Amino acid sequence: MSDATTDARWRRRKADRPGEIRTAALDLFAERGFAATRMEDIAERAGVTKGTVYLYFPTKEELFKAIVRAELLPNLELLEAAAAEKVPADKLLEKLLTAWGTGLIPARLALVPKVMMAEAGNFPELARFYLQEVIDRGRRVLRAVLRRGVEEGSFRSMDVESVSYCILAPFVFSVIWRHTFERHDMNPLDIPALARAHLDILLQGLMVSPRSIGGKHAGRRSKTKK
Amino acid sequence: MSDATTDARWRRRKADRPGEIRTAALDLFAERGFAATRMEDIAERAGVTKGTVYLYFPTKEELFKAIVRAELLPNLELLEAAAAEKVPADKLLEKLLTAWGTGLIPARLALVPKVMMAEAGNFPELARFYLQEVIDRGRRVLRAVLRRGVEEGSFRSMDVESVSYCILAPFVFSVIWRHTFERHDMNPLDIPALARAHLDILLQGLMVSPRSIGGKHAGRRSKTKK
Amino acid sequence: MSDATTDARWRRRKADRPGEIRTAALDLFAERGFAATRMEDIAERAGVTKGTVYLYFPTKEELFKAIVRAELLPNLELLEAAAAEKVPADKLLEKLLTAWGTGLIPARLALVPKVMMAEAGNFPELARFYLQEVIDRGRRVLRAVLRRGVEEGSFRSMDVESVSYCILAPFVFSVIWRHTFERHDMNPLDIPALARAHLDILLQGLMVSPRSIGGKHAGRRSKTKK
Amino acid sequence: MSDATTDARWRRRKADRPGEIRTAALDLFAERGFAATRMEDIAERAGVTKGTVYLYFPTKEELFKAIVRAELLPNLELLEAAAAEKVPADKLLEKLLTAWGTGLIPARLALVPKVMMAEAGNFPELARFYLQEVIDRGRRVLRAVLRRGVEEGSFRSMDVESVSYCILAPFVFSVIWRHTFERHDMNPLDIPALARAHLDILLQGLMVSPRSIGGKHAGRRSKTKK
DNA sequence: GATGAATGAGATTTCATTCAT
DNA sequence: GATGAATGAAATCTCATTCAT
């Protein structure tokens, strides 16, 4: 409207408009859901006007799909990197969970899954696509690590399919938690502690010869045993 | 319009309309989300018309709140029952996970949490209410069991707060999974197997002297150890 | 609808349902308007249920028309009585205004006009009907009185048409006032005082030889005059 | 849809949309009442579509309130102007009534009061607001004029409160009349004649030494007296 | 006669989308 | 490229009316 506005909108001319819009939209979709998020809200958070969003994305649905597609790559790269590591399986598991616990894995990474969980019913194709391109691929990596651990003799024999879910579950859980209840919770989730506890249980529960890991509560077995 | 239709609408008068509507609505909310569910769809699934829904629930929001409130009681009763059991902590844990794995805990119980996860951002008060009345209470029960297990000498010392989340996570995870990806998944989640694997890992991971449990893959430690 | 015999039989045993419903409806129509009044509100105020209203009046519109028709008779009777009086015109005018000021003319009588004023646009035929059967007839009576007064030599020559409106206006005005603003007004309309003032002005303003009337402020002319 | 339509809807962009919508709405509210007027009708009369109305007014109720607020200023300005005149009270009264009679006071001014009378029951706060900001203020001006007339010696002693109502009544009455019955009436209200008759009665009725005013029927007292 | 659960047409309101500027 | 006024389809919600009991 005013000159100031006009100036402002040109000030960031070089900025990545589509990226900014996707980011704004993803945040809002995660917070309110796809249907409850208005295009105008997305535009506002991205610092543009409604019309501009349509300049880059023909429909709200396409915007959503673009987000999922755009977030796909970082996910896959992370998976690729994880699979490439050539260390013993138990060390790899420890590394992954530690990366999660110490915040090396960015929390934003989980926003698409969070939205996906709520909207899979309304976007079946997208859900199928996501399931195959990200989730199944991730599970395959995880199953391979577990199988390698068994072959290496460090892990007990196990139902790798089910165990892979057990390993993923607390991660998925924590993601949802942070985006749903944390804001209202008195005692917010202590992710590092959760990661430590999870790792401890897993190593104790999966390894043939459990070994102690560092931490407040972990690895006291010998002591306790008397 | 036709006689048949006219007859039909008066035939089932004595039925529990509010209950039927709540059930239909909860199913749809879980499937599509709150905003994406039309009142008319709810009515249709409940076998009534739009107007009838408004006869019992003044707004869509109130319908949602009524659902949460109505589903509260069964949840709390289940919790109460779980807490009342006077058996060793590890037996109790086993019992709970077996109940889940064998379908004794109805899957519908988890629909409200599923919807809550998607809608907490839009219904902050309700989220807070649910968090306190169901989730916090459930966590307290679980923590008490874990603490008792430690005191009884069967569980290792642990960070009960974090461990309680690790125990809950696969349950929550499976709930979400079934309502989001299962329909598109080639290999649907094997809940009994997941429950067994989870129990195995937990007992191995938490107990001072792990004991064998029945199952395809579980409890081979002693053999292997040797 | 049903035969007179049936009506009569019930009238003795039970209350006059149609009358009660009309009364309740008229009150609400005057308070909120026709469109803003719900059939259920009418039923409730009449102490019956929705269905019962439809037992006596096929539609909301017919209920309104029935009210207008039912209130017609008392109005006409009042007019007839007024016209029948064989007294000098100025005495008659005084009598009428005194009747109004002292509450001899029931306030309810004006509810239909009040509603009519708001709804004439939506019920053109009814408005026309009311205009002819009540209003025009009333004006004719009033004009006759004025004309007689001029002929009798007590009133000045005048535009009887316009003067008849001037006489009616404060009455109509007070009716509306009471049903719109009085509830919110600090100084509610003092009808007796208004009637006295109106009469004073009229007699002073219309008569050839004005005469004093009783009252706080009225009839001080002679004194003031010197 | 068609090209012509598409063109048309962008053609008059610069027009004062809110004002046009308020004007259209006020006309319809006065004609049919608030509840009986559909937003779509308002839009149509304003030459826009439903959605556009909501672009400027969040709800139908707010539109009504905006109308009342917007019409407030012209009313108050008129009052201010009336009060500012420094002429003898009887001259002022004459001037006012003549202004009304000759159409110098626009009839639209009375639309809000007309609607207010029908809707006061549904908008109590607005009624109270209007009563205080317009009506009470208007009455105060009128009472001051009357009191000044008494002090100046031109008016008889009187109950200024009641007399102020008597003066207002025919004006209010005529407004309602025109918007309710005139369309169905064979003999439409002759406002100039009504204003003349009213002024004649008032001057004769209120002044200590009545003076003749020009007009067909007025001021024949001396002749008649004879 | 009386009831009130159920209906569905129609109102208000929302918001994704369009397009002249 | 960017804007935002305008649109209209589709949602929520209301309520006059029906009819089995």
> What percent of chain A shows pLDDT beyond 70?
86
Across A132-153, average pLDDT: 90
Query: Quick check: A51 pLDDT over 60?
Result: yes
Confidence of residue C9 (pLDDT cuts 50, 70, 90): very low
Give chain A's mean pLDDT.
Answer: 85
Residue B2 has pLDDT above 70, yes or no: no
* Calpha distance D148→D160 (Å, rounded): 11
How close, in Å, is residue D204 to chain C by CA atoms?
4
- Tell me: pLDDT of C3 over 50: no
pLDDT, averaged across chain D:
85
Q: Do C197 and D221 touch (CB under 8 A)?
A: no
Q: Tell me which chain B residues have a C-beta less than 8 angstroms from the C-beta of A131.
A: 181, 184-185
Buried b (16+ CB within 10 A) or exposed e, A81-118: ebbeeeeebbebbbebbeebbeeebeeeebbbbbbbbb
| CA D10 / C1′ F5 distance in Å | 8
Higher-pLDDT residue of A172, A154 = A154
Distance from CA of D218 to the nearest CA of C (A): 7
SS3 assignment for A49-84? CHHHHHHHCCCHHHHHHHHHHHHHHHHHHHHHHHHH
What domains are there in chain A, each with its CATH number? Answer: 1-57 (1.10.10.60), 69-214 (1.10.357.10)
Percent of chain C exceeding pLDDT 90 equals: 52
Residue C60 CA, nucleotide F17 C1', distance (Å): 10
Phi-psi region of A103 (alpha: psi -120 to 50; beta: other; left: phi over 0): left
How confident is the model at residue A82, as a pLDDT?
79
* pLDDT for the residue numbered A169: 92
Q: How many Å does it take to go from CA D3 to C1' E17?
A: 17
Q: What is the DSSP string of chain B?
A: --HHHHHHHHHTTTS-HHHHHHHHHHHHHHHH-STT--HHHHHHHHTS-HHHHHHH-SSHHHHHHHHHHHHHHHHHHHHHHHHH--S-HHHHHHHHHHHHHTT-S-GGGGHHHHHHHHHTTT-HHHHHHHIIIIIIHHHHHHHHHHHHHHHHTSBPP--HHHHHHHHHHHHHHHHHHHHHTGGG-SS---HHHHHHHHHHHHHHHHBSS-----SSSSS-HHHHH-
Asked if the model's pLDDT at residue B6 lies above 60, the reply is no
Is D61's CB less than 7 Å from nucleic acid strand E?
Answer: yes
**The predicted structure's pLDDT at residue C139:** 87
Does residue D59 register a pLDDT over 70? yes
Q: Across-strand partners of D207?
A: D155
Share of chain A above pLDDT 90, in %: 54
Alpha-carbon gap: D133 to the closest alpha carbon of chain C (Å): 12
Chain segment C129-172, per-residue pLDDT in tens: 998 888 888 888 889 999 999 999 999 999 999 999 999 999 88
Task: State the pLDDT at residue A55.
Answer: 96
Q: Is the pLDDT of residue D173 over 90?
A: no
What pLDDT sits at residue A212?
A: 55
Task: Please tell me the predicted confidence (pLDDT) of residue D182.
Answer: 78
Q: pLDDT (tens digit, 9 = 90+) per residue, B85-137?
A: 889 999 999 998 999 899 888 878 889 999 999 999 999 999 999 988 888 88
Angle between helices C160-180 and D191-206 (to 10 degrees): 90
Which pLDDT does position A58 carry in this prediction? 97
CB contact under 8 A, D208 and C216: no
Strand partners, B155: B207
Share of chain B above pLDDT 90, in %: 54
Task: Specify the pLDDT at position A217.
Answer: 52
pLDDT tens string C64-75: 999 999 998 888
Does C215 have pLDDT greater than 60? no
* Residue A207 DSSP one-character state: B
Average pLDDT score, chain C: 85
Q: What is the mean pLDDT of residues D103-109?
A: 85
Nucleotide with the nearest C1' to D17 CA: F5
Alpha-carbon span B75 to B138, nearest angstrom: 9
For residue D14, the model assigns a pLDDT of 58
| pLDDT at residue number C148 | 93
Note the pLDDT of residue B162.
95
Determine whether the interchain pair B217/A159 forms a contact, defined as Cβ–Cβ distance below 8 Å. Answer: yes
Would you say residue D7 has pLDDT above 70?
no
Over residues B132-174, the pLDDT tens digits come to 888 888 888 899 999 999 999 999 999 999 999 999 999 888 8
> Residue B13: pLDDT band by 50, 70, 90 thresholds?
low
Which nucleotide is closest to C48, CA to C1'?
A: E2
Asked whether residue A224 carries a pLDDT value surpassing 60, the answer given is no
Size of interface A-B (CB pairs under 8 A): 194
Q: Is the pLDDT of residue C10 over 70?
A: no
Q: Give exposure, A153-180, as e/b (b: 16+ Cβ within 10 Å).
A: ebbbebbbbbbbbbbbbbbbbbbbbbbb
In angstroms, the separation between the Cα of residue D214 and the nearest Cα of chain C is: 13
- Interface membership of C176 toward D (CB under 8 Å): yes
Q: Taking 70 as the threshold, does the pLDDT of residue B220 lie above it? A: no
Mean pLDDT value across residues D111-122: 92
From the CA of D69 to the C1' of F6: give the distance in Å.
Answer: 26
Q: For residue A225, what pLDDT is reported?
A: 38
pLDDT (tens digit per residue) in B16-60: 999 999 999 999 999 999 999 999 999 999 999 999 999 999 999
Q: What is the pLDDT of residue A133?
A: 87
Placement of tokens 């939205």 in the chain: A115
pLDDT tens digits, residue range D22-57?
999 999 999 999 999 999 999 999 999 999 999 999
D18 against D139, higher pLDDT = D18
DSSP assignment of C145-187 equals HHHHHHHHTSBPP--HHHHHHHHHHHHHHHHHHHHHTGGG-SS
- Chain B, 7 to 66: residues with Cβ < 8 Å from chain A are 31-36
**Confidence label for C104 from pLDDT (cuts 50, 70 and 90):** confident
> Do the chains contact at C122 and D166, CB–CB below 8 Å?
no
CB contact under 8 A, C221 and D208: yes
- Quick one: pLDDT band at residue A200, thresholds 50, 70, 90? very high
Long-range contacts (CB closer than 8 Å, 24 or more residues apart) made by A104-111: A105/A78, A107/A175, A107/A178, A108/A26, A109/A71, A109/A74, A109/A75, A109/A78, A110/A171, A110/A172, A110/A175, A111/A26, A111/A27, A111/A29, A111/A30, A111/A71, A111/A179
Overall average pLDDT of the C210-216 stretch: 56
Mean pLDDT of C108-119: 90
CB proximity B184 to A under 8 Å: yes
